[in-house]
Chain A
Amino acid sequence: MSAVESEGVVLGDLEQAELPVASTRGRGSLVRGVAQRSAGLLFAFCLLLFMVGPLVWLGLRAFSGLWDFPQLLPSDWTLQGWRTVFDDKNLSHSMALSFEFAPIVTVASAAICLPAAYAFSRYRFPGRRVLLISIFATNAFPKIGLYIAMAGVFYSLNLMGTFMGVVIVQLIGTLVFMTWIPTAAFSAIPRSLEEAARDVGAGPLRVFFRVTFPLAAPGILVAMILSFLAAFDEATGTFLVGLPNYVTMPTEMYTLVLNYPEQVGAVFSILLAIPSVVLMTLARKHVMGGRLAEGFQIR
């Protein structure tokens, strides 16, 4: 997505660059104009390289055999990296585990946070703001401190190295998305729409499922996608709580970087990025529609 945007900037600059040439201006200003535009172009290109470069390298590396420094392209192409990943029991197991944790965490997060989001949006209760801010605040502190504190609690509750423990630790990172975005989505629905449904004979539950929920669904979808990705990409907490029983893809990366050839890391990175790319593409309409941008405005 960012690549597309950067290209847009570059093209826009090119088109604009041609206009002043046609106009009758002084030589000095012409030179200055060209210089300015070249600088802009260069900057845009650097930005593009900075953002897309590593991805391109990753893509190439995943399929390359020998690739020595001065060469621009690998001299040897191979699928060895992919074979290693899919043949290695540990790696494929961690992949399966990741795809097991992320949906469970997302659903659990939704079950916990959506009712809370509805309450935040529809009721004015004491401590409402404090609670909202405190959910946000979990993201404000360095996570590692939080996880260490949690580890202490988890030891006494025998949650270390358990499935439940990992779910809880991943859940923490999803709370802010699952609460704030749906709260904004619910708040955006005029109360009169719900009242009108009551008026024609629907009970409170039916009103929620037939009117409120469908209207808030796009916001909730965005929240679920972000939560899924947050859970899927969570490494530190999972590493701390899950080891040695539960090693997910992101935690596997730690070992991978140290113990395997570079290609395997590249392959694994691409695999790790696939859910993000797929989900973001699917949710593009809603994310781009400004819902996410508006998402954090809660009165």
Chain B
Amino acid sequence: MIPDLGKYAAEVLSAYAVSLLLLLGLVWVSVRAARRACATLEAVERQKAARDG
């Protein structure tokens, strides 16, 4: 399935592996931070609503 990369296989595969890892890591960190921010804001808004009655 993988094309014949010849003598440059290590360079090409490492470029793809590291790049995909960086991109997936960036997406994962961003989504996780977004979920945490939503949860934090909801908690603070609930707290404020409870305090204000």
| Chain A bound to chain B | no
